[in-house]
Amino acid sequence: MFRVLTALLLSVPMSAWALVPPDYQEPPSDFIAEIEAGLQINRGNTESSSFNGRTKLVYDTKQFKQEGTFKLYYSADADKTTAEKYDLQLQSSYKLDNDFSWLDDGYIFGRGDFTLDRFGSYTQVSTISVGYGFDAISNSDTKLSLEIGPGYRYNMPIETEAEPNPDADKDIIVRTAAKFKHKLQEYTSLNADLTAEMGENNSTLTLDMNYKNTLFQDWAFKIGVNVKYTDVVPEGSKQTDTITTFNLMYTFQ
């Protein structure tokens, strides 16, 4: 009986034993999604701690890169809602590929940023921009992308006693951005986006920074800080808003 079993095992082709090699990895995917949620601490125009969530979708091919990010910030005390904010960011990039070496890592983009904030200095903020970007640094551990281009911004100030029916602030702007990613170790990384929108009527500067530590497989713990400075704000509002988050994030692709 033993001889029969041995003969059968030896007759099986070696390829059958190598269907899933020990070091097998899934092939890279063009689609990546991140979903996260957790605790939020607000300082600035709102003082509270509560829930936040974020979803990011990226479809990256050889010629195009499509990105979409949705953020939700919500908190309430025993009596009422104290913070409610929704952010939507969309960007479509066309990668340049030609004989000019200085354009090899460049891309042309169109972008839209939309915010609804019940308790912010501006309850509605919409920015549409186009421009050019390129990878100043791009290797296995570090990536730095720079962007610049013109745009249009629409701001609706919050109602105040001095201005119960405020007029919307409409402005032509120049948008610049620096997007930095760095792999600190095998399971940790640092990301920082710095964006400036300069207009004739108003200007803003936003820093969105986070530290991510992979716990196991596709799960990670993420600490984030978002700081936004607005040069001109309605009476009674603060120029700087800061949001600190502690989230559990799941990534799939």
Q: How many angstroms separate the CA atoms of 60 and 70, rounded?
A: 18
Burial status of residue 162 (CB atoms within 10 A of its CB: 0-12, 13-18, 19 or more) = exposed
Rounded to an integer, the average pLDDT of 176-192 is 96
Residue 170 has pLDDT above 90, yes or no: yes
Nearest to 154 by CA among 94, 97, 88, 199: 199
Residue 138 near residue 181 (C-beta atoms within 8 A): no
Burial 3-18 (b: 16+ CB within 10 A, else e): eeeeeeeeeeeeeeee
User: What are the sequence ranges of the domains in the chain?
Assistant: 28-252
The 10s digit of each residue's pLDDT in 20-55 is 454 445 556 789 999 999 986 767 786 667 899 999
Q: How many angstroms separate the CA atoms of 166 and 156, rounded?
A: 7
Domain 28-252 top-level CATH class? mainly beta
What mean pLDDT value characterizes the chain?
87
The pLDDT of residue 8 is: 44
Residue 132 near residue 104 (C-beta atoms within 8 A): no
Q: How many angstroms separate the CA atoms of 55 and 89, rounded?
A: 11
Inter-CA distances, 211 with 1, 12, 75, 129, 245, Å = 60, 50, 23, 28, 11
What element of type H or E holds 4? helix 2-11
| pTM for the whole structure | 0.82
The 10s digit of each residue's pLDDT in 193-246 is 999 999 999 999 999 999 999 998 899 999 999 999 999 999 889 999 999 999
